[in-house]
């Protein structure tokens, strides 16, 4: 049921007569998979809305990050617009993009799944800044971010309906985007205690985003 609701969010159109064209159970399965992939591809091109899980810094830390971003922006001659403090986050799991507002029943199902993840609150600490190849100027780290890596894997285990090839997860906080590339360098660590996971709904191509749900981290 969860996978069905997720597919419904990512694709707003059905495929009448799908079963009648399949000559076998295997053929039906392959046809459904092919159709699902096509539907997701079309949905991505037409998408207006995004849904993802993230960790956010507490307000005090977010303001401190924003202040240091302004200093780095001046120091390195960057011109990109810094993210608002309330928009700073670490993306953990991308649910998907679609040309519609995520339905309430999908949000409820996602929250129910994440609520079952056993994970105590943990410390997050970023000790580097750098630019990614896509122009994102970010906070980054290494060993001090192991908690994020563990949580990301546990979320993927309960949220991804199908096993997929492993993708490297690089925990980071995007501060701004700029054409100028800044090489990786150490900074005075910035950290906070992660106590909850936010389910975020954002509008693609806009700065608008809102937390539609928050799930407290709890030990098993």
Could you say which DSSP state residue 86 is in?
G
Token couple for 156: 């993927």
Q: What is the pLDDT along the chain (220 residues), one digit of tens a residue?
A: 455 556 656 654 333 343 444 445 666 666 666 655 555 555 556 788 999 999 999 999 999 999 999 999 999 999 999 999 999 999 999 999 998 888 899 999 999 999 999 999 999 999 999 999 999 999 999 888 999 999 999 999 999 867 666 678 999 999 999 999 999 999 999 999 999 999 999 988 777 789 999 999 998 6
Evaluate if pTM is beyond 0.85.
no
Q: In this predicted structure, what is the pLDDT of residue 220?
A: 67
Q: Which CATH architecture has domain 48-216?
A: Alpha-Beta Complex (3.90)
Q: Which residues pair with 129 in a beta bridge?
A: 139, 185
Q: Parse the chain into domains and list their residue ranges.
A: 1-46, 48-216
pLDDT on residue 164:
65
Write out the E strands in 112-159. Answer: 122-131, 136-140
Burial of residue 184 (CB within 10 Å: 0-12, 13-18, 19+) is exposed
Which contiguous run of DSSP H or E holds residue 2? helix 2-10
pLDDT at 144: 87
């Amino acid at each position: 049921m969860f996978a069905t609701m997720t597919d419904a969010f990512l694709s707003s159109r059905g495929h009448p007569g799908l079963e009648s064209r399949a000559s076998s159970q295997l053929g039906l399965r392959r046809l459904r998979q092919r159709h699902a992939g096509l539907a997701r591809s079309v949905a991505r091109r037409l998408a207006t809305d995004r849904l993802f899980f993230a960790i956010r810094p507490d307000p005090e830390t977010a303001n401190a990050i924003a202040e240091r971003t302004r200093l780095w922006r001046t120091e390195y001659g960057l011109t990109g617009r810094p993210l608002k403090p309330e928009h700073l986050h670490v993306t953990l799991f991308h649910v998907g993009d679609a040309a519609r507002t995520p339905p309430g029943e999908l949000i409820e199902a996602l929250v129910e799944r994440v609520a079952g993840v056993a994970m105590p609150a943990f410390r997050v600490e970023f000790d580097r800044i750098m630019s990614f190849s896509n122009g994102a100027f970010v906070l980054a780290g290494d060993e001090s971010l192991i908690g994020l890596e563990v949580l990301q894997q546990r979320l993927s285990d309960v949220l991804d309906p199908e096993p997929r090839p492993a993708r490297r997860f690089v925990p980071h906080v995007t501060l701004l985007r700029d054409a100028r590339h800044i090489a990786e360098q150490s900074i005075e660590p910035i950290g906070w205690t992660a106590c909850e996971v936010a389910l975020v709904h954002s509008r693609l191509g806009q700065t608008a985003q809102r937390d539609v749900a928050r799930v407290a981290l709890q030990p098993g």
